[in-house]
Structure 1
């Protein structure tokens, strides 16, 4: 049971001790984040099948977490096999026309963040009257969560709104400089290409695949557009962007990112208000939980004014932990509800992030509606948004504004850059990937750097957002004060690229060897060996063998591999994930919760 409020606490895990052992790809993220939140202790990196984390002290009963790669006895045993089995390789490889692995440890990173979430949630639950829990999460669940929007689309009632075919940015200038292009406005898209004298037909044909690349993870626009940029110097391309309202961002190297990195944590927490709420607040907070509650956030209310992926995913995770989530949508409802493909008339992708949430339509341009929203915030525990920078202050809905109404509020902002990059471009997934060296980190040596068209940072940024909110809720429980928490896509990028940036710091090549995590073709599909056995497995030509025979051949040699999922709709019946995928009330595929509490 939690101790009384500790007025001197400045971080949520101050006075707690941690102990960690297990796979370093996962546990290094857990250790880093728990230490940043105030815990003290050692991590023992061991190449075990599972990891164990404990938090003790601070007046709490011991909190336990277990992390694993996949189901015991399955062929899902490391990062490569998780990416292969869950469909990450298939989605990431759409741009190239065949599955390929991310050279960065994406699933392990997400698993580490999920483990921290589970521990924080368990401590929040203890502070509110729950018994101590043992949380379990796994990399295969993290992988399924990462592809959940693509999985939902694959199981929808209709086809995709745009073609699934190879192609996409980055573009190349006449000097050979790689750059990313971003605009959400078809007029700006057209003006940019007109300024570069692009063929009108190619310009028109390119907009739809470019617009939907966030949904499809590929952008098969006409090759003529690539040809056009190769005829112009970067200065001319920048000029066209400035005149049109589009934005370009030159791909930065990992070495460039390392040179400017400020070492800031992936999120920040700042107590709100000057008056402690301690005893009266804590009594009210603990009283909100029903004695028979089984989830740690039961009885808490989250207001979410989110769009696209990052904030909605963060709120979705808080809802899975038991909170009631109320979406703030514009008059007429969220237009993304109609984004194809649909299940029972509702966007399958929208359902992947928003199922189970309530919704209230609020016109934030209306003073009367803003007053209503302030009233709702006065009764909520969390207010979460990802509006454009400065928008909340302009509306009178910033953290200090709402803290005057509700001093116990956890105010959360999930943004792009966290004001940490000078002259930053638009804070969207692919632009942040381009600016932070992710394009190098996800592709091995010898390949042209390219941001993944899978929304890596939107998903990982949503995970960071939920993690930050949980840290804020725990700090609120320990101090009796509201908290402002900020997270960003930049923070997510730094977490993902941390191993590569560490190689830069040691003077090593930050990129992994050529061919790293390239699956091997079989007669009827692909297989992916685990990272440790990949060099030996690639020595065997398996192209004349069926996938099952190829796996048996490698197995007879003591080499572990797994089949690569190429059609996400097959995951429903995949024995590696039995019981992990269901369908919601609208018929849309739904992945299981990423944690189990016992």
Structure 2
């Protein structure tokens, strides 16, 4: 992806984040965005010294969550947190303009890469802090040594050497797929729970018998089996670059006017302030899992009134452990603070109820499967009569990138096909998706940004519009095309933890060697061996005195909630959750 150079006067403290922000704001195509100042730094309100993407990933827990599957912390070999921060900055600018149109005095927005990282980990952080005994928060290891060095059992490898990702969303299809391939029924059953929970736990330890089963079958036969059983498989691309250039979102204006041209909604609402730039705007959200709820969560953090539509009996995800109070901590991390109404879409009464909700709303967003909205009579054209100025947002898996009948659009399949799976791994590891839900989170943020762009366009034109975004389009936003050297980019293990090396230590390992009381010519193995002889606390003053910047790696998200240095960015109650990542002035 070619990124735009930051506009004149834009900050360069976090250069990749600044380029992403400038690129996204250019796509908004509104000259007024140049009138709002924005700033992105590394540490934001945290009292933690952070100097680059690696330090943020280490201190804020990204290395910990991404590395869970391998049994030790591991960096994402892309500037993921910086990409998220860039989108957040663009969101802040658009929200400031919407607030200004309603009379608020907002001229500046500030965010940070560290706050972006914490927001990206919101579900994992909530799960880790809902129960002090949560087994997911440590450093699990497939080998029992904590020394895992690569991806876990996913993705699979076929008999002809094709690495592929498998997606199955229900137990019956999982059973049918593996039985058709000849796997043992008991092994199939043992594998389902870990496979099903990998989105929540960022681990996937499957019975070795399942991997052995597919190693005896060609990829063509595996694909045919998947087609018959209703599973989905896609090969993991070796090329880290996206196969197509895809805009993060597309905006199609409504053919007829009917939207508001003022800063206030048709239903009025609370006055907008710097603390709540979207106050008075109403969003109706019908979404599950992460992508759609994240979009609604961001709009709510910006002050919008979000009404969540759930099926009768409520969203099943509410009961997924760990429970905080009476609800799943993971679910609450993205949905707390939203009003809830239960509606049966399959009935005519339910569809009328949706239209009534939408008639008083500014935004309707969903992440339904392709074709569902049209079948229900709740597509953009159907709802425009209920609310002519409506911003209608669909957050899909693939958009139109893989045709009208794409495979199921989930995070790991998108990582595999988009090249992101190749980009996130260092050079000496084969491509494999991160089990941290990278595109789910970024996809939700991109959807929210598309909504904000559409609301700004409605101010100018009086027309609502349709916003289309996808996990696939979000994945393409992550800058890539290179892979970091593996030896110096991985965290250095100490006796009781890990250290992430700063830029100087990565570029000048001789300085690191001398700081560890080794000769300047010591190799990677000697450095690693020496580092393990002392605890982290012993090494930090020695390395600081030698001018070698390192960052202790977070190995427990629960520790972040107890660390006073993180207190300005986190709210801690029944679980810990990131505070809104913007400061407006």
Q: TM-score, normalised by structure 1?
A: 0.87
Counterpart residue number, 2:174? 189
Counterpart residue number, 1:227? 212
Structure 1 position 175, deviation (Å):
1.5
Counterpart residue number, 1:305? 286
Structure 1 position 286, deviation (Å):
10
Secondary structure of residue in 2 paired with 1:495? coil
Task: Kindly indicate whether the alpha-carbon contact (under 8 Å) linking 1:267 and 1:488 is maintained by their aligned counterparts in 2.
Answer: yes
Counterpart residue number, 2:576? 589
After superposition, give the CA deviation of every residue in 1:246-278 in whole Å (9 maximum; x if it has no partner).
1111001226x55x41x3311011111323556
Structure 1 position 517, deviation (Å):
2.7
Counterpart residue number, 2:390? 409
**Alignment of 1:268 onto 2:241:** no
- Taking the aligned partners of 1:293 and 1:597, their CA distance within structure 2 comes to 5
Q: 1:210 aligns with which of 182, 192, 195?
A: 195
RMSD of equivalent CA atoms: 2.2
**Alignment of 1:320 onto 2:310:** no
Secondary structure of residue in 2 paired with 1:533? helix
Task: Kindly indicate whether the alpha-carbon contact (under 8 Å) linking 2:287 and 2:293 is maintained by their aligned counterparts in 1.
Answer: yes
**Alignment of 1:246 onto 2:196:** no
**Alignment of 1:64 onto 2:37:** yes
- Taking the aligned partners of 1:231 and 1:292, their CA distance within structure 2 comes to 62
Task: Kindly indicate whether the alpha-carbon contact (under 8 Å) linking 1:168 and 1:218 is maintained by their aligned counterparts in 2.
Answer: no
Counterpart residue number, 1:74? 48
Q: 2:29 aligns with which of 28, 38, 50?
A: 38
Task: Kindly indicate whether the alpha-carbon contact (under 8 Å) linking 1:313 and 1:463 is maintained by their aligned counterparts in 2.
Answer: yes
Counterpart residue number, 2:84? 110
Secondary structure of residue in 1 paired with 2:280? coil
Matching of residues 98-497 of structure 1 within 5 Å: 98-157=72-131, 165-166=141-142, 167-254=152-239, 257-258=241-242, 260-261=243-244, 263-275=245-257, 277=259, 288-290=269-271, 294-422=275-403, 424-496=406-478
Task: Kindly indicate whether the alpha-carbon contact (under 8 Å) linking 2:268 and 2:280 is maintained by their aligned counterparts in 1.
Answer: no
Task: Kindly indicate whether the alpha-carbon contact (under 8 Å) linking 1:519 and 1:528 is maintained by their aligned counterparts in 2.
Answer: yes
Counterpart residue number, 1:28? 19
Structure 1 position 172, deviation (Å):
0.3
Structure 2, unaligned stretches of length 5 or more?
A: 1-6, 143-151, 514-526
After superposition, give the CA deviation of every residue in 1:234-253 in whole Å (9 maximum; x if it has no partner).
12211221221111110012
Structure 1 position 355, deviation (Å):
0.6
Q: TM-score, normalised by structure 2?
A: 0.89
- Taking the aligned partners of 1:73 and 1:323, their CA distance within structure 2 comes to 30
Structure 1 position 512, deviation (Å):
2.5
Structure 1 position 294, deviation (Å):
3.6
After superposition, give the CA deviation of every residue in 1:176-205 in whole Å (9 maximum; x if it has no partner).
110000010111111111111112221110
Aligned length in residues = 549
Task: Kindly indicate whether the alpha-carbon contact (under 8 Å) linking 1:157 and 1:344 is maintained by their aligned counterparts in 2.
Answer: no
Task: Kindly indicate whether the alpha-carbon contact (under 8 Å) linking 2:265 and 2:281 is maintained by their aligned counterparts in 1.
Answer: no
Structure 1 position 449, deviation (Å):
0.9
- Taking the aligned partners of 2:460 and 2:82, their CA distance within structure 1 comes to 30
- Taking the aligned partners of 2:534 and 2:279, their CA distance within structure 1 comes to 52
Divergent runs of 4+, >6 A: none
After superposition, give the CA deviation of every residue in 1:393-429 in whole Å (9 maximum; x if it has no partner).
1111111111111111111111111102247421100
Secondary structure of residue in 1 paired with 2:166? strand
- Taking the aligned partners of 1:39 and 1:328, their CA distance within structure 2 comes to 32
Q: 1:292 and 1:282, CA in 2 relative to 1: closer, same or farther beyond 3 A?
A: closer
- Taking the aligned partners of 1:177 and 1:248, their CA distance within structure 2 comes to 11
